Structure 1
Amino acid sequence: MPNWAQLISKISSDLGYDERLFKQYGDSLALAEYYEINKGRIGELRSWMDSNWNISIEKIKESKIYKYITKLNFPIIYTTNYDHCLEKAFEVWGKSYKRIVYVDDMVGLDPKTTQIIKFHGDTISDGSIVLTESSYFKRLDFESPLDIKLRSDMLGKSILFIGYSLSDINIRLLIYKLDQLWLKSNKSKRPKSYMFLPTPNPIQELILKNRGIQTIIGSELDKTESIESFLHELL
Structure 2
Amino acid sequence: MERLREAYRSGQLILFVGSGVSANIGLPPWRRLVDQIALQLDYDPEVFGTYGNFLSLAEYYRIKKGNIGGLRSWMDREWHQNIDIRESAIHRMIVHGRFASIYTTNYDRWLEYAHDAYDVDYVKIANASDLAKARDGVRQIIKFHGDFDDDSTIVLDETSYYERLQFETPLDIKLRADTLSKAVLFIGYSLSDTNIRLLFHKLSKIWSRHERLGVRPISYVFSHKPNPVQEEILSQWGIRMLSSETDDPGLALCRFMQDLVED
Q: 1:145 aligns with which of 170, 173, 190?
A: 170
Query: Is 1:75–1:111's contact at 8 Å kept on the other side of the alignment?
Result: no
Cα offsets for 1:156-189 (capped at 9, x unmatched): 2111111111112121111111221232233533
* Identity over aligned pairs, percent: 47
The corresponding residue for 2:77 is: 51
CA distance in 1, matches of 2:30, 2:133: 36
Q: Does 1:213 find its partner at 2:213?
A: no
Aligned: 1:9 with 2:17? no
Question: Does 2:179 align with 1:154?
Answer: yes
Does 2:99 correspond to 1:74? yes
Q: 2:208 is matched with which residue?
A: 183
Q: Is the 8 A contact 1:75 1:112 kept in 2?
A: no
CA distance in 2, matches of 1:57, 1:2: 12
Q: In the alignment, what sits opposite 1:90? A: 115
Cα distance in 1 for partners of 2:99, 2:41 equals 42
* Alpha-carbon contact 2:95-2:115 (below 8 Å) kept: yes
Would the aligned equivalents of 2:123 and 2:133 in 1 still touch at CA under 8 Å? no
C-alpha contact 1:99 1:117 (8 A) present in aligned 2: yes
Number of residue pairs matched by the alignment: 234
Evaluate the alpha carbon distance shift between residue 52 and residue 10 of structure 1 in structure 2; reply closer, same or farther with a 3 A threshold. same
Q: For structure 1, which runs of at least 5 residues remain unmatched after alignment?
A: none
The SS at the match of 2:190 is coil
Structure 1 residues 191 and 93: alpha-carbon distance in aligned structure 2, compared to 1, 3 A threshold: same
For residue 194 of structure 1, give the secondary structure of its aligned residue in structure 2.
strand
1:99 counterpart residue number: 124
Deviation sequence 1:37-81 (CA, Å, 0-9, x none): 0011111111111111114452x1111110111111312111010
Structure 2 Cα separation of the partners of residues 223 and 139 of structure 1 = 28
| Residue in structure 2 matching 1:173, options 184, 198, 203 | 198
Q: Secondary structure at the match of 1:184?
A: helix
Q: Following the alignment from structure 2 to structure 1, what is the Cα–Cα distance between the partners of residues 77 and 98? A: 29
The reply to whether residue 42 of structure 1 matches residue 68 of structure 2 is yes
Q: Structure 1 residue 198 and structure 2 residue 208: aligned? A: no
Aligned-CA RMSD value: 1.3
Residue 196 of structure 1 aligns to a residue whose secondary structure is strand
Output the amino acid matched with 1:109: A
Q: Deviations over 1:91-126 (max 9, x none)?
A: 111211111111111114123111101111111221
Aligned partner of residue 172 in structure 2, secondary structure: helix
Bigger relative contact order, structure 1 or 2 (CA pairs below 8 A, ≥6 apart): 2
Residue 23 (structure 1) aligns with: 49
Match for 2:87 among 56, 62, 66?
62
Kindly indicate whether the alpha-carbon contact (under 8 Å) linking 2:115 and 2:121 is maintained by their aligned counterparts in 1: yes
Tell me which amino acid in the other structure corresponds to 1:39: K
Q: TM-score, normalised by structure 1?
A: 0.95
| CA distance 1:57–1:92, change in 2 (3 Å) | farther
Alpha-carbon distance in structure 2 between the residues aligned to 1:215 and 1:7: 30
- 2 CA distance for matches of 1:77 and 1:173? 19
2:221/2:241 contact within 8 Å kept: yes
Displacement of 1:3: 1.8
> Partners of 1:192 and 1:172 in 2: how far apart?
16
